[in-house]
Amino acid sequence: MATNYPKIGIRPTIDGRRRGVRESLEVQTMGMAQRVAEFLEEKLFYPDGSQVECVIADSTIGGVKEAAAAAQKFASENVGVSITVTPCWCYGSETMDMDATIPHAVWGFNGTERPGAVYLAAVLSAYAQKGIPAFGIYGEDVQDSGSEEIPADVQAKLLQFAKSALAVALMKGKSYLSMGSVSMGIAGSIVNEQFFQDYLGMRNEYVDMSEFVRRFEEEIYDQAEFEHALAWVKENCRIGADNNPPELQISDGEKEKQWETCVKMTLIARDLMVGNPKLAELGFEEEANGHNALVGGFQGQRHWTDHFPNGDFMETLLNSSFDWNGRRAPYIVATENDSLNGVTMLFNYLLTNTAQIFADVRTYWSPAAVERVTGYTLEGDAANGLLHLINSGSAALDGTGEQSIDGKPAIKPFWEITDEEADSCIAQTRFRAASQEYFRGGGFSTDYLTKGGMPVTMARLNLVKGLGPVLQLVEGFTVELPEAVHKTLDERTDPTWPTTWFAPKLTNQGSFKSVYDVMNNWGANHGAISYGHIGADLITLASILRIPVSMHNVEESRIFRPRVWSLFGTEDLESADYRACRNFGPLY
């Protein structure tokens, strides 16, 4: 896959008046740009772990000619995010960045010597009038003119904007790869090309699942890697109990053959998504290219799984931060080709650089129901009830919670994971013979229990006819139940699948009056679960893409949207968000 990562462009704008005014501001203005670039390059990373790159305009920008020169430089340097900084008054519409296809933010220095705040207000007004939503950044406290500090509140907004804007830029021009078609009538697997093109700037690619069979039979995969991978699987992947009734259990010899197929499927799906130069050496030049896919989905059920092993192992390993080749960035693959949950996983991933858990939002357990079934009284984060998140497929091994930050369970970017943590994630997982009633072709389902105490965010993108895409999200915590309680509840469903017990944060308002209300207002059967309370970042990202957020439990103080959103109303922010998104329309 092409990995020419987009850069962040920094634009230092300045009062264009010569003979004293501009000259007195040159050092201060360019200094702001340099400090912002240094700050962002230190804090932000691309998906491969390399530091984000910033590009600064060659000169301060005092008028339209210098604005055009900066735009030309940015175009040649693959700039996908624009941040303007200034400590002073500048000529708004003459110095602004006019590229409507990339995200924009402006930091106006809060100082009394020069009116940076006045420029900020003026240029944001111009952006609004011209239909280019821009984010306004203005520090709460007045700074001295010579201050070289980026205040903490300004840092927070710079990061929140830059992370979300980079996510937008990273998606642009990439592909969603459908491996197969619609799975069991699930709406999310009815891939809507118009959404991908208009809102995300992505293209859609398709392969029939018969392509896997062709590559099996013609050996279109790296045979050496296959042998290495199979040996790694035999050494590291622990087999769990076979939950099938005796008459449906298959022989150990047949299971060995299925393991070979599952490993080949993993190699083939990866190669289909991102390509593999090794295939060209084998004489398969076309196949070596892949589909430039940043995200994909595998249909599986039922046209594949009624005859072949299911995709659970393939999806689990690809979504994890490590495999037989060691630690590496996850490949985002959605179970059942649920493209909308796949995109939500992608949003979460690009904001965090961490592996994602794909799950059914399967059951709401009230405190009364838990007590009736187990005799146990829920407490702590779970006191108001739980959601049972469980699915046979794309639950990354990182979701075990066997990684740690400050001694607490966590999910980390792959470059921060230790070999010991990766080994522990695998050790706490069992691969169990798939339920023959669901998966007639067999395969191996991933089975683990997520550690409690992790802050997580569950999100979901939905499509509504006449409205378009809508995002919903909920922040909360993973929960650890007593072993006997977990076992009793888990065995009421399919115990061969991975479980995450999730307790949403409640606000006593709207959809968050109770855990039942969260479940009752969830828009689809799947959810994408990310480590961390990233709801505010998701809201910022959604506003850049002009996708309204229908449901969230993020504090108002953390919400950061383009300044023009306030002109659509300041009392009911949810309604204002809908109006603004409809008014400006899709980004592309």
Question: What amino acid positions are annotated as catalytic residues?
Answer: 336, 360
CA distance 35 to 513: 44
CA distance 466 to 37: 41
Q: E strands along 430-575, which residues?
A: 430-433, 444-447, 455-464, 468-478, 499-504, 526-531, 549-551
With tokens 């999730």, the residue in question is 502
Helix (H) or strand (E) holding 75: helix 64-76
CA distance 449 to 501: 8
Q: Tell me whether strands 430-433 and 134-137 are parallel, antiparallel or unpaired.
A: unpaired
Task: Spell out the residues 6+ positions from residue 47 whose beta carbon is closer than 8 angstroms to its own.
Answer: 170, 329, 349, 350, 353
Q: What is the DSSP code (8-state) at residue 106?
A: E
Among the residues of 310-428, which ranges form H helices? 312-319, 339-352, 367-374, 419-427
Token pair for 86: 């200034």
- Cβ proximity of 184 and 301 under 8 Å: yes
Decide: helix, strand or coil at residue 550: strand
The total number of residues shown for the chain amounts to: 588
Report the side by side order of strands in the sheet with 238-239. Answer: 238-239, 430-433, 444-447
Q: Closest Cα partner for 87 from 128, 54, 56, 118?
A: 118
- Cβ proximity of 317 and 326 under 8 Å: no
CA distance 192 to 203: 11
CA distance 515 to 527: 15
Q: Closest Cα partner for 373 from 522, 496, 486?
A: 486
Decide: helix, strand or coil at residue 309: coil
> 366 to each of 363, 385, 509, how far by Cα in Å?
10, 5, 18
Amino acid letter, residue 175: S
Amino acid letter, residue 577: D
CA distance 238 to 232: 11
Token pair for 573: 């922010």
CA distance 517 to 249: 41
CA distance 564 to 86: 20
Task: Spell out the residues 6+ positions from residue 226 whose beta carbon is closer than 8 angstroms to its own.
Answer: 263, 264, 267
